[in-house]
A and B are shown apart, each in its own frame.
Chain A
Amino acid sequence: MHEQRDFDRFLHAVDVDGAIAETSHQRQLVLSRRGLLAGALAGPGALLLGGSEARAASGLSANDVGILNYALVLEYLQASFYTEAERSGALSGKTAQAAQVVGATERAHVKAFQKLLGAKAVKRPLFDFQGVTEAQQAFLKTAVAFEDLAVAAYKGQAPKLQSNAVLAAAVGIHSVEARHAAWVRELFGVTPAVNAFDKPATKQSINHIVASTHFIVAHPKMKARSRPQYTG
């Protein structure tokens, strides 16, 4: 329950148009119907989850689903950041190469989380990176912040996981994020490894940092009911 509250606070901080919460709500509906799901995946529960997706997420506790969705939002953030940078074509040299390699890895993380969570996975938010993907130095500075953030976030949540199998996966991803952090730090010209011990970050501090960037934005409403005035 504690993790559920934490995840709700995280959503409140970053979900500007409720798009993430929409899926989260579906997730809660699913969780509230655990009784229906317990016997078999056929029946009312299957209407919500459906087939292999339901099986993919079954067996995870509500606590772990909350933490995994929290990690998925951070993976969405990173994957979208590197994807946009690569598409912009504004990066060059070793930085462009790093963006390609790290981006490919973050996209693999997103896919893996989505597969594991199935219908319980939160939706991808819309990100407005406000030009930091289109200028080399701004990109590197943001990349360092994102990778350090991800490493600290994984470290903060890993001890709270109930499933050892999920913990094993989280540790595997955490070390990859740490390699990314070292790589982009080196490219940005800051020391890759400074401390003998890295402190974990709390969800509150991660929420605050992510929300303060304003990188997660509302989807523009492009549909309307007004009468057309086109030439006809």
Chain B
Amino acid sequence: MTLLRLAAALAVVIAISLLWAGLGDSHRQKAEPSAAAYESLPTAPAPALRVGRPERLSSSRFSSRWTTVRRPTLARSRPSASASVVAELSTRAPEGTPNALSVIATRADAQGRVWVEVRLPVLPNGMRGWVPRHSLGAYQTLDTRLVVDRSALRATLYRDGKPIFAAPVGVGTSYWPTPAGRFIVRSELTRYASPFYGPVAFGTSARSAVLTDWPDGGFVGIHGTNEPELIPGRVSHGCVRMRNSDIVRLAELMPVGTPILIR
């Protein structure tokens, strides 16, 4: 009996083993065609677009922002509707172009209203004020900067911190000095009939502190000339004069909105 039981148990074990092995075979038999099917799938197409690494913002050391006045507004001494008014701003510069302003900083007040600190095109030169964001237009960013050196009688245009243009200039006499400070190029005039201003004249936010009764308020321009022999020199009423070939070249390189440092 014991032998019989042992034989029966062995038979059961063998049967189970065979069955297990058989199942394994059947699994393998089923898996093999699947694997082959996968291999026969077409390769995915390579994307037409190669997206590179995320692009971190470059240093803003040499960049500046400017905007235009979208609706008439008041500039205030602080970012608050109750702060004192320091200037009124219209939508147009005297030339008829949109009134361009350099953006210095922005701040949201306790109510979430955004205020923008700008350089003002008013006397005394160098005034700043806070303007409601909703009265301004789009921000534009530039990496150009013009430096006018009154001692060296030279203007240099920088792009991204590197000089890309330099030319001798005429500046104001001691009676009508060219004002020092930080300003903005706010318009570019061309195709007018006035040899005195040469072929191109840039409007700036700088104002003569002396010629206050000049038409349009005595704004200082950067322009060509019909007297190139006077350049370089202290010859103007405050404007920055250049030889015509230089002002034409500058116009190709310097966009409106470029900040100006006159020193």
Inter-subunit contact B192/A228 (CB<8 Å): yes
A115 to B94 CA separation, bound complex (whole angstroms): 42
- Which of B60, B134, B192 interacts with A87 by CB under 8 Å? B60
Inter-subunit contact B114/A109 (CB<8 Å): no
Which of B2-10, B42-50, B142-150 is found at the contact surface with chain A?
Answer: B42-50
- Asked whether B52 is an interface residue with its Cβ less than 8 Å from the other chain, the reply is yes
Given that A135-B108, A222-B187 are known contacts, is A165 also in contact with B54, CB under 8 Å in the complex? no
Inter-subunit contact A232/B196 (CB<8 Å): yes
A–B pairs, 22, beta carbons within 8 Å: A83-B57, A87-B57, A87-B60, A87-B65, A127-B138, A130-B134, A131-B134, A163-B48, A167-B45, A168-B46, A168-B48, A217-B138, A220-B98, A220-B100, A222-B186, A222-B256, A224-B187, A225-B192, A228-B189, A229-B95, A231-B172, A231-B176
Report B's interface with A, CB cutoff 8 A. 44-57, 60, 63, 65, 68, 94-98, 100, 106-108, 112, 114, 133-134, 137-141, 172, 176, 186-194, 196-197, 201, 203, 208, 211, 214-216, 218-221, 223, 236-239, 256-257
Chain A residues near B108: list those with CB within 8 A.
90, 134-136
- Which of A89, A111, A232 interacts with B237 by CB under 8 Å? A232
Interface residues of A in 137-177 (CB under 8 A from B): 137-138, 163-170, 172-173
- Which of B114, B139, B194 interacts with A228 by CB under 8 Å? B194
Chain A residues near B239: list those with CB within 8 A.
230-232
Report A's interface with B, CB cutoff 8 A. 60, 83-84, 86-90, 100-101, 103-105, 107-109, 111-113, 115-116, 126-131, 134-138, 163-170, 172-173, 217, 220-232
Q: Which B residue's beta carbon lies closest to that of A112?
A: B51
Inter-subunit contact A135/B112 (CB<8 Å): yes
**CB of B180, distance to nearest CB on chain A (Å):** 15
**CB of A229, distance to nearest CB on chain B (Å):** 4
Chain B residues near A169: list those with CB within 8 A.
47-49, 51
Q: Which A residue's beta carbon lies closest to that of B53?
A: A108
- Which of A137, A225, A227 interacts with B112 by CB under 8 Å? A137
Inter-subunit contact B215/A229 (CB<8 Å): yes
Beyond known contacts A134-B108, A230-B197, A232-B237: 10 more, CB 8 A cutoff: A108-B55, A167-B45, A222-B97, A227-B192, A228-B223, A229-B219, A230-B220, A230-B223, A231-B238, A232-B239
Chain B residues near A126: list those with CB within 8 A.
138, 140
A128 to B67 CA separation, bound complex (whole angstroms): 10
A128 to B36 CA separation, bound complex (whole angstroms): 57
